[in-house]
Amino acid sequence: MTTTPPSRHTPARWRAKAAVLAATAATVATAAAGAATIQAAAATAAPAASVLSGPARYHYQTITVPGYRSVYLNGISDSGAYAGEACKDRNCTTVALFAASPAGKVTFYTLPFANYSPTGPFNATATGMDNAGDVVGAYTGPHGALHGYLRKTTGALSQINDPRAAAGGTVADGISPDGSVIVGFYIDKAGVERGFLLRDGAFATYDVPGAQGTVVGFDNHGRFGGTYYAANGLSRGFYVIHGRLHTVSAPAEHGARHPALTLSAMDTAGTLFGYVDSANLPGYGIAYASGGYTTFRDPNEAGTGPQAGTVIYSANSNGVVAGAYTYTNGTAKQFPYAKGFIARPRGTSAVPRQGHGALEQAGVHEGLGQVAP
């Protein structure tokens, strides 16, 4: 049984976003000039042996789309609107992008770009939604290059390409609640992921010092963060508040080999959300606050291998989270099927129930999630 950590260029998870992050850059390109670089202040590291603590007191709601066997929710607004993609096959060779109202009314949309190649696994993904309902995401071009996109609530679509990106391209990985900042990463001519923040039409590069790659995944009123890759190839979280960098390691979990942490979001209270995966166990969502982790496992989750589990892709300012969970096992060549979910802190009002035609009678399940020991 191998103990070698997985490569950071191998999809660590079955989700669409991880497949996008797994793309390999081309080695020849010309990098454009004119983008700024954000300087990082001294880092404060979280204890490497942080442990899981306390129950995640959340209500879970399953989101399905009729006719599609897998659904991934990758963005959620403060009003409860959400965005994601749906797939009919395990490996998502045909992706249906959608945005939904708080009541669950789904609008599908297609990408009109001439350089969009709608073939191959996870060829497009939504990655975030702001409070106006605008959606960001990424797609693959015909030669494997990545491109970000922005979809306005009017339906207008535009590309997002960092001027410093080489042939590997650009991924828009999130958007601030007010829509003023788009974040993500681009791949430079050395094949390294470099984080960016896009504000008022200007790109700024952000790299965690010493990292093998950086992905900026969220911004909430000037506090931003995401994921970086350590020297061993495993991902860790980071966040920046008042210009100061803080890093976060995956919590200790009995029996887990090479646990890796991805941070996806931060709410107004400063709680961080994301997920942990490993080389041998199912993944699980996490919330991190005051030095402690709470865990999220959807009560309908199924699957026993490292491709399975529950993943948090997004959280709104109120701490309502969205993501996906597997309901089958995967195989060596196929991802498991997944369903979307929204989870709300207990004591908050639930999202309006789907009415006639909303999500076209989508399946809904609510319950109290299981907490890891």
3 state SS for the chain: CCCCCCCCCCCCCCCHHHHHHCCCCCCCCCCCCCCEEECCCCEEECCCCCEECCCCCEEEEEECCCCCCEEEEEEECCCCCEEEEEECCCCCCCEEEEEECCCCCEEEECCCCCCCCCCCCCCEEEEEECCCCCEEEEEECCCCCEEEEEECCCCCEEEECCCCCCCCEEEEEEECCCCCEEEEEEECCCCCEEEEEEECCEEEEECCCCCCEEEEEEEECCEEEEEEECCCCCEEEEEEECCEEEEECCCECCCCCCCEEEEEEECCCCCEEEEEECCCCCEEEEEEECCEEEEEECCCCCCCCCCCEEEEEEECCCCCEEEEEECCCCCCCCCCCEEEEEEEECCCCCCCCCCCCHHHCCCCCEEECECCC
At residue 41 the predicted structure's pLDDT band, cuts being 50, 70 and 90, is low
At residue 163 the predicted structure's pLDDT band, cuts being 50, 70 and 90, is very high
pLDDT at 355 over 70: no
In a domain, 25, yes or no: no
The pLDDT of residue 349 is 54
pLDDT at 351 over 90: no
- Of 41 and 103, the structure prediction assigns the larger pLDDT to 103
In a domain, 10, yes or no: no
Section 188-192 average pLDDT: 95
The pLDDT of residue 246 is 96
Section 351-361 average pLDDT: 33
Q: In this structure, are residues 276 and 284 in contact, taking their beta carbons and an 8 Å threshold? A: yes
In a domain, 17, yes or no: no
pLDDT at 303 over 80: yes
Section 91-115 average pLDDT: 94
The pLDDT of residue 253 is 86
At residue 13 the predicted structure's pLDDT band, cuts being 50, 70 and 90, is very low
In a domain, 157, yes or no: yes
Residue 86 token pair: 């749906």
How far is Cα 245 from Cα 225, in angstroms, rounded to an integer? Answer: 9
pLDDT at 3 over 50: no
Section 168-196 average pLDDT: 96
Section 194-223 average pLDDT: 96
In a domain, 84, yes or no: yes
Residue 186's domain is classified under what CATH number?
2.120.10
What percent of the chain clears pLDDT 70, i.e. is strictly above it? Answer: 78
The pLDDT of residue 366 is 34
pLDDT at 372 over 70: no
In a domain, 24, yes or no: no
Section 295-312 average pLDDT: 92
Lowest mean pLDDT among 5-19, 71-85, 136-150, 255-269: 5-19
At residue 29 the predicted structure's pLDDT band, cuts being 50, 70 and 90, is very low
- Of 181 and 350, the structure prediction assigns the larger pLDDT to 181
What residue numbers bound the domain in which 103 lies? Answer: 39-368
In a domain, 8, yes or no: no
At residue 331 the predicted structure's pLDDT band, cuts being 50, 70 and 90, is confident
In a domain, 32, yes or no: no
The pLDDT of residue 39 is 62
Lowest mean pLDDT among 15-29, 78-92, 156-170: 15-29
The pLDDT of residue 40 is 56
At residue 35 the predicted structure's pLDDT band, cuts being 50, 70 and 90, is low
Lowest mean pLDDT among 46-55, 124-133, 241-250: 46-55
- Number of domains making up the chain: 1
pLDDT at 362 over 50: no
